[in-house]
Amino acid sequence: MSDFTVNIFQYRGSSYQIGLNLGRKLIGTRIPQMFENITCPVIDVDNMKAIYRSFAPHLLDELEGLADGLKIPWVKAAALFSGYNLPKVGALGCSAMLTDTYYVRNYDFSPDLYDGYFSLVQPEEAFASAGYNLQVLGRHDGVNQHGLVAGLHFVSNHGYTTGISAWTAVRMVLDTCSTVPEAIDMLKAIPHAACYNFSIGDQGGSAVIEASPDDVVIRRDQSFLTCVNHFQNESLQNKNGPDFTHSVDRHTYLQTMDGKKLPQEEAFDHFRSNASPLFYTDYDDLFGTLHTFSYGYEDSRILTAIAQSDQVLDIDFDKWVAGKNMRVYNLHGKIGQTEQ
C-alpha cells in the first residue's frame, strides 16, 4: 500500500486568473512532464481554437493563464492541456448510477496518469463548477452551479480521429450548460475523438450519451440509469471494445441496486467501500478505483472521497457558489491491494 494525495484548488475570478493561479501551483510537479510524455508536441492550434470558440471560448483564456503561470509558450500549453489531437488512450473504467435524487460514480484507472487535483472554480465568464481535473483543463466528472452533473466512461478507440477528448467535453458541458437537454445538444455537436459514454443528470432527469466520432445515441430515464464502459444501443454495439465482459458484469450488478432505493450517502459509501463489487485494486493493469464522486440534487450536496480513505469531503455546493470557501486543502488515501 502506498499513500495517495489529491490537492484541492479553489479560485474565483476571470478564466485567465484561474489558469494563471493553477499554472503557478503546477510548477515543479510531475504533471507538466507527465503530459509532455504522452501528448503530441505540435497540434493544429487554429482548428483547436475554432472548436473552443464554438463551445467554450473562455477556456482559451484559461489556457493562456496556464501558459503564463507555468512560464511556457501558449502553443505548448495548448498541446499539453487542450485535450485536442491526443494519442490513443488505453482502457479505463468508470461505473455510475443515476437516480431521480442523486448521481454517484467511481473512476477507475492508474494513479500514474492521474492529475491528483479536485477543483472548485467560479469563472467570471462561465458557470461555477466542482470536479476532478484530467489533463489539467478537463474533468473526469463534476457538477456545476445549476446542479448539472456529468462524468465520462471510456468505451473504445473505434474510429479514432482528430477531435476533442471526453474530459475536455465534460468541462465544456459543466461550464456552459445548465440542463440535461442543453448538455445533450452540446455532446451531439462536439467532434469526439474516440468512443465514450457520458452520464449526465439534473433534478429534471438523467441521460446517457453514447458518443462515437461519427454517431451519438441517447438513453433517457427519469428515475434510474446506469452507465459503464460499453455501448448498449444496438446501432453502436459494433464499436465496443474486443472484450467488455467486465463492463457487462458491472452493469448487471448495478441493475440490482435499482430495487434497493438507497439514499445518497449509503450509495456513496457502497461505491467507495473496498469490499464493494464496484471497487477495484488492479492499479498495475490500469483498473484501480481512484475516487468516488456523488451529488444530491435536492440539497446540492457533494460527497467525494479518494481511494481507501476515511476522509470524506462533504460540500454544500450552493453555499460554496455563494462565496463560502472550504478550509480543506488535501484529500489522503491509499493505493494498492487491500491489506488483509
Question: Residue 338: its pLDDT value, please?
Answer: 56
- Ordered structural domains, the chain, with CATH: 90-334 (3.60.60.10)
Identify the band that residue 222 occupies on the pLDDT scale cut at 50, 70 and 90. confident
- Residue 339 reports pLDDT greater than 70: no
pLDDT (mean) for 10-26:
98
Angle CA 46–213–234, to nearest 5: 170
Longest dimension (CA), the chain: 54
User: Do 75 and 160 touch, CB atoms closer than 8 A?
Assistant: no
- Dump the DSSP string for 23-73: HHHHTTSSHHHHHHHHS-S---HHHHHHHHHHH-THHHHHHHHHHHHHT--
Report CA 108 to chain centroid distance, whole Å. Answer: 11
User: Do 104 and 293 touch, CB atoms closer than 8 A?
Assistant: yes
% of the chain residues with pLDDT over 70: 98
pLDDT one-digit tens code per residue, 59-115 = 999 999 999 999 999 999 999 999 999 888 766 789 999 999 999 999 999 898 899
- Residue 218 reports pLDDT greater than 60: yes
User: Do 96 and 104 touch, CB atoms closer than 8 A?
Assistant: yes
User: Do 219 and 233 touch, CB atoms closer than 8 A?
Assistant: yes
Count of Cβ atoms closer than 10 Å to residue 239 Cβ: 21
β-strands 138-144, 129-134 pairing: antiparallel
Q: How far apart are CA 77 and CA 72, in angstroms?
A: 7
Question: Residue 92: its pLDDT value, please?
Answer: 73
Question: Residue 149: its pLDDT value, please?
Answer: 98
pLDDT one-digit tens code per residue, 239-278 = 999 889 999 999 999 999 998 999 999 999 999 999 999 9
- Dump the DSSP string for 89-150: P---EEEEEEESSEEEEEEEE-GGG---EEEEEEETTS--EEEEEETTTEEEEEEETTS-EE
Q: How far apart are CA 205 and CA 69, in angstroms?
A: 39
% of the chain residues with pLDDT over 90: 90
Q: How far apart are CA 126 and CA 283, in angstroms?
A: 35
User: Do 263 and 297 touch, CB atoms closer than 8 A?
Assistant: no
β-strands 129-134, 93-99 pairing: unpaired
- Residue 187 reports pLDDT greater than 70: yes
Output the average pLDDT for the chain: 95
172-186, 279-293, 318-332: segment of lowest average pLDDT:
279-293
Question: What are the C-alpha distances in Å from 142 to residues 129, 152, 290, 318?
Answer: 7, 10, 15, 14
The gap between the terminal CA atoms of the chain, to the nearest Å, is 11
Q: Which of 232, 220, 168, 233 is nearest to 194 (CA)?
A: 168
Identify the band that residue 340 occupies on the pLDDT scale cut at 50, 70 and 90. very low
pLDDT one-digit tens code per residue, 120-161 = 999 999 999 999 999 999 999 999 999 999 999 999 999 999
Q: What is the CA radius of gyration of the chain?
A: 18
Residues 6+ apart with CB under 8 A from 66: 19, 20, 22, 23, 26, 77, 81, 136, 137
